[in-house]
Structure 1
Amino acid sequence: MTVDSPGFATTAVPAARRQGAAPSRATPIYLTAGFEFDDFDHAADHFGTGAGFGYTRTGNPTVHAVERQLAALESASEAVLVASGQAAVVTALLTVAGAGDHIVSSTHIYEGTRGLLLDNLARLGIETTFIDDIADADAWRGAVRPNTRALFGESIANARNDILDIAAISGVADEFAIPLIVDNTLATPFLLRPLEHGAAMVVHSASKFLAGHGSVLGGVILDDGRFDAATAGHNAPHLVLPGRGGLPSVAARHGGNARIAYARESVAPRFGASPSPLNAFLIGQGAETLGLRVERQSRNALDVARWLSAQDAVESVDYVGLESHPDHSLAAKYLQGGHGSIFTFTLSGGLDAARDFVESVEVFTHMTHIGDVRSLVLHPATTSHSHRSPDERDVLGVRPGTLRLSIGIENVADLIADLARVLEPARQAVA
């Protein structure tokens, strides 16, 4: 029996549903929680095989399109988009490690990641060893245990611009058949693609350069697609053993993409890290101009860093684009097209000078973010690194007068004029 004369509400609800397909130049936004099935068997097939789309938490056409886009930029086999950069890091680590396992990490990492390792993953029975001298491959090698499941580092470290020797450290990871996971947020795939240098997995805070405008949150996990069950299966039993109910193993179903498939099927959706399709769309739009922005930002950053290094009120500038930086030669090996746009510098006047600086700038914005089209400034010692001890901050190059800059796309002459106006009183005070 059909409804010949449906009521007003019954008419209003589905009236716009049946629309013909239209070719859209921009990625269409599928802003929907779920997807309609064609028939009974279609639903059963989706839940049995995972093919197609049923619910946005487990897959969405907009999200999938942006995943393909970001995978292409990073030379990755596949990508999984998630709700934030922090979600990307935790999803990647929980994809490879579980209770009783161990991770070796660089000391020079984002404080949110460090807190995740020390506080949250430790509660889940995952222990971490930190490496201070990340240039020492033997230090990484010596920290590996039988239960180590990953090495983790940042391509360009926040805040001192330490460069990870990806080829050397990925070589250590290969010796033990474990993945090197690289946070490539600061470098971006325009400057560096870690998978091309031996890393197995890459993560990004897509909220930063990939999106570019400081308007949305997002993160992404990318994989090289080269998981080898024969050589690495003993370190990843969850990927090579049959699943519940006799389901074939992840490796049997996905081969070299077993890691990223496990992240997509089991970690991201079950921990609720799935992104909004609208955020995915905006990240994809931003990624289209990534190269243009990063090229301009890197060029601006080098000019600003050179100008700062010549100022009497400035004690030091930690920008890897300067020949004075200890990792400058290593950066020349890995970074193509620029040296990034985030760095620190230290004022001779200490904390008081830093306070005056952030409260006096006009072109720079004082906020906790990086990778924006706008130029930003933050005082790490009292914000991002406030939970570190003074000795720990000193090791990382974060002192009372240290400020972090994230250089945007403005005219560089205006940025330098803003800095000159603010630093002139400090220069006179030093003199």
Structure 2
Amino acid sequence: MLLYRGEYFRATHSDFYHQTPTEHPISLQQARDLVATAHPKFSPAWVSNDGGVIAVGDPDFAEAYAVDPGTGHINGSTRLESGVMGFLANLHDCALTCEGYPGYVSWLAKPVPTIGFAWPPGTNWGLLLVVVLWLLMVLLAITGIVVWWPDFRRFSHGFRVRTGKGRFARDYDLHNVIGIVAVPFVLMWGVTGAAFYLPPVKDAWLAVTGGTAADPQKYSFTANAAAPGTREIGIDRAAAAALAETPGEIRYLTTPQDGYYSVSIASEGYQPYGARAFFGGDHTVYVDSHDATQPSQSPGTTGNTARNTGEHRTTPGDGVIETLAFATTMVCVAGGLAVLGAGLAGRYRPERALPALAVVELALVVQAIADVTGLRTGDRPAEPATHLAYLATSLVLLPAATAWAANEQDRWAAVVIAVALLALAVVVIRAQTTWRPA
């Protein structure tokens, strides 16, 4: 539901989004000044083009006024995190520990006492509860695979629903089928959720996938020292400087903090974050609040205009490849663990595993075709040789393991296939990480 928070907010605040068509709309600076003049006690900290109006918000991101860009009329103000969506945001993001949001529970926001070791910074009872639930999701997913996995001679039974054998058999089969289909998503929620707040989980994930922690300098910008009395360039000049660096549409702009403006821009074409309520945009540009005339600099350095160049400019084709890669990775992990469990239990039957392995290989072939198509249309990976090596390995690993397992006894054959599937999951992830353009 939170994915549609923007659409829900716009649908339930029609008066806030009243607008008058015009060929000469007021500017972001004018909208900010109108609100500041009409409401002297309100502190404008950001402006946003949202749903046809200009929103002017406070430093706490709690309240915003809407200005009709056609007439300059202030439509009124609203709380941004009120009602049902505010409660859901508090539940999802903070485990009911975000003060000021609906549903806030004060005792959940209290810090967890130390018990012989230091918790990660900011750990409270709500966060600890959520982390435990995430880890339980991982445990449930793994144990669910082991319990569900049928004898390979009856592999298809794991996906059947016996509608003519009575209510109990039907409901039991539906429970099994829905559960196994949900396993990849449960694993994704559990692992990624725990990785957000548990450094060991995050470090383990980065080690397995070959990733690196985010560079804090990537999102920093140091403005040049301004001479005493130098006036700020203003919102409109900052917006113009940002658009000169990255063409598109201004979605969100913060007034100077530490000597610079932060401008979020939705570029032309596919915009995965372009339509988010108030805080949209796919690229961020930092602009010195006193001087925007000098050449652009790299993020993390001193300068006048800096573009956050760390984003990957996404296309619809990238989404297809990444979705397929994620699904393949989850299937490989789940299948590898299940095959290993079946082999250790003495229930592995190679002839029943071959159809499932063929489906995985087919998915890899489709992914490789999409990958090669991207290369032929101009995409250039950051690490071309490494990427192509991972791509080739992903295609030959499973057939080679299957041929090897054919000469082994059932138990050792299961170990070979399980190791191949788990290794394949890592290879697919590494292929994706090396795909990112330079």
TM range (shorter): under 0.3
Normalization by structure 2: what TM-score? Answer: 0.23
Normalization by structure 1: what TM-score? Answer: 0.24
Q: Which has the higher contact order (CA 8 A, sep 6+)?
A: 1
Q: Is the radius of gyration larger for structure 1 or structure 2?
A: 2
- The answer to which structure has the higher helix fraction is 2
